[in-house]
Each structure stands twice: as structure tokens, then as C-alpha cells.
Amino acid sequence: MPERQTLTTLVQLGVEAVAHGTLAAATKRLSATMFDMGPKVDISQWRGSGYKYPAVTALNKEWMEGSFSGPLTYDEIVYLLSGCIKTGVVTGASADKTWTFSPATTTEDAITSYSIEQGSAVRAHVIKYGVFPALTIKWDDSGVEVSGDVLGQALVDSHTMTPSGVTEVPLVPATRVQTGIQLADTAAGLGGAAVLSRVISAEWSITNRFAPVWALNQSSSWPVHIESEPKISFKLMLQADAVGMGLLTTMRANSTKFARIACIGATIPTTAVLYSVTLDLAFRVTDVTPFRDEDGIFAIEWTGVGVHDATWTKAYNIVCVNTTASLV
């Protein structure tokens, strides 16, 4: 009997186009992204008077939790964003495609859910209604990385992996040398703002994006998700020079600041357009760390919270340019 090996365990995604939680055949593999997932349960136990040990147990809830991590690549990122932020709007008639993720502040966002297959020809399972309730992007001297959480309905064991028609998403990584960060006092001012020259690291995250609804529906798993109050955090570590200390004034004035973190890659073949991922956000400073040494640089790290800006009419916006025409 062949062993079920970790090394050859694949993860494949199928877009649930019919309805959330309706099983979809896998069509894509994110071959640069590592998934770590497993079942979670809530089981009650009861012990009668005079008994040392419980005599009754009952399964109340069953779901799946996990995480993902890997490098930011210009094409794979749209699958993660569509399952966390909202389903991206894609435009472009040529080889280059532009994906826009512009979430609403006061209305629900339509998201993409996935049937997530995990396994091999030896044995496999599938998780329906797979979404990503948390996402973090980090830029530092080691590169650009993404990570986050996975949430799904109860695991379906002894599943047959989709045997054919599954393709790998193109892999073009975003790198440290392609990254630039700008600050401005208005969203409109980001376009003309200078790229900061002494940024040490940056991190943007959104958490608490979704929550499952638990209902008395003769099922141990959850039937639908709702949006939770999202938490947006932005960290920026800079050399403590005149620019790096400029956010002190922003903090004291309780002012909104705008940031743009952009990775601009190589030219997309057959076009004059560059690969890119651009994150624009409005934030207010909420914390600051003590001065620290970062490889000999006297540095300071500012932490901000993402906020809605009435003039801009949003809290953040993400635009990706790549060669992916659709999620399927």
C-alpha cells in the first residue's frame, strides 16, 4: 500500500461559480503558495452525578481552518485577493489584464469562494466554501511575501482529485528591488509623490474579514458566511531621519495620511505594459515603537489603522496588472 506523503500532496482550487459551498472541479494550482489546513471541531461532553467519567459526547460544530504563505507573484495574488477582499474586476483586451479590487465601506462585497482539493492519487479530501478571512503582505529586505488564513466548511474525505484540466497559475514574482513606497496628504497626491528612499520594511494586513453563520439546519457545518468588522493594520519602518520622523506631526494632529506601496515588474510579453501590484490606502497613526537598531540604521516603526476617507470614498484600493484573464 503506497504511503500518503506530505511532499507530493497537492492543493488545487476550483471557483464555486454556481453558489458558495457548491462543489466545483479544480482548475488551478497556486504552485508558489503553501497551504496548511486541517479540521476543527466543537464536541460537548456530559458527566452524570456520581460518575467520574463522561458518558455522553455530541458533535456540535465542524469546520476547517488553516493558513497560506508564499512569495507575492503577480498572477497568484488575484486568487487570494478575490477570496479575501472581493472578486476582482478584470479589464483588458490584450495580453495584459488589469484587476481592480476596490472594496465598499458601507455595503457587502461579493467574494469568490473555492472548492479546495488537497491530496494525491493515494488519498485526497476537499473543502467546500473556502475563503480567506485574513491577508498580510510584507515588504522587507528579504523580498515580498504574502500570508493569511483559510476558512472552509467541514472536510469531505475520500475525495478524488480533479484528474485533468488543472493548470498552474503563471509565476512571476514581485521582488524587493521592484518595490517603492510613497506618502501623501491626499489620495490624489500619491501620483506625484516622491518614492521614499529610506524605508526599511512595510506590512499591510486585513484580518477578521468573515465569520461563519451557525444555524440549526441538521448539519454540523456552517451554511453561509457574513462579513465581520475588518481590521486593517499598516506598519512602516523608516530611518529616523527628517522623513521618518515626519509621521510624528501626522500622529499629533490626528491626520489622515495616504500611502502607496507598488511593485513594478518586467514588461508583459507582446505588450508595452509592466507587471504591477499597487496598494493605495488611507491610514491614521495609532502607535509607534521605541527607536531601534536595524543593521546599523537608527530606525523607528509607525503603526497605523486603515480608515475610510470621505473625499476618496474608500479606505484602500488594490490594482494588479498581469496576464490572468479569469480565475477559472
Per-residue pLDDT 10s for the chain (328 aa) are 789 999 999 999 999 999 999 999 999 999 999 999 999 999 999 999 999 999 999 999 999 999 999 999 999 999 999 999 999 999 999 999 999 999 999 999 999 999 999 999 999 999 999 999 999 999 999 999 999 999 999 999 999 999 999 999 999 999 999 999 999 999 999 999 999 999 999 999 999 999 999 999 999 999 999 999 999 999 999 999 999 999 999 999 999 999 999 999 999 999 999 999 999 999 999 999 999 999 999 999 999 999 999 999 999 999 999 999 999 9
Strands 124-140 and 143-152 turn out to be antiparallel
Nearest residue to 284 via CA among 237, 242, 249: 249
CA distance 288 to 172: 35
Q: What is the pLDDT of residue 1?
A: 72
Closest CA to 144 of 3, 28, 321, 264: 264
Q: Which three cell numbers stand for residue 82?
A: 478575490
Dist CA 323 CA 77 (whole Å) = 12
Which residues, at least 6 apart from 215, have a Cβ–Cβ distance to it below 8 Å? 222, 223
Residue type, 62: E
Closest CA to 217 of 155, 153, 126, 130: 153
Predicted pLDDT of residue 261: 98
Give the C-alpha separation, 277 to 75, whole Å.
10
Cα gap 136→255, rounded to integer Å:
24
> Element (H or E) spanning 155, and its range?
none
Distance CA 106, CA 263 (A): 29
CA-wise closest residue to 303 among 224, 234, 241, 254: 234
- Supply the pLDDT for residue 278: 98
Which three three-digit cell numbers place residue 319? 490594482
* First-last CA distance in the chain: 35
C-beta of residue 75 within 8 angstroms of C-beta of residue 322: yes
Rounded distance between C-alpha atoms, residue 116 and residue 121, angstroms: 15
Per-residue model confidence (pLDDT) at position 147: 98
As given in the structure block, the three cell numbers for residue 191 are 501620483
Quick check: helix, strand or coil at residue 4? coil
What are 208's three cell numbers?
Answer: 477578521
* Helix, strand or coil, per DSSP, at residue 291: coil
pTM of the entire predicted model: 0.96
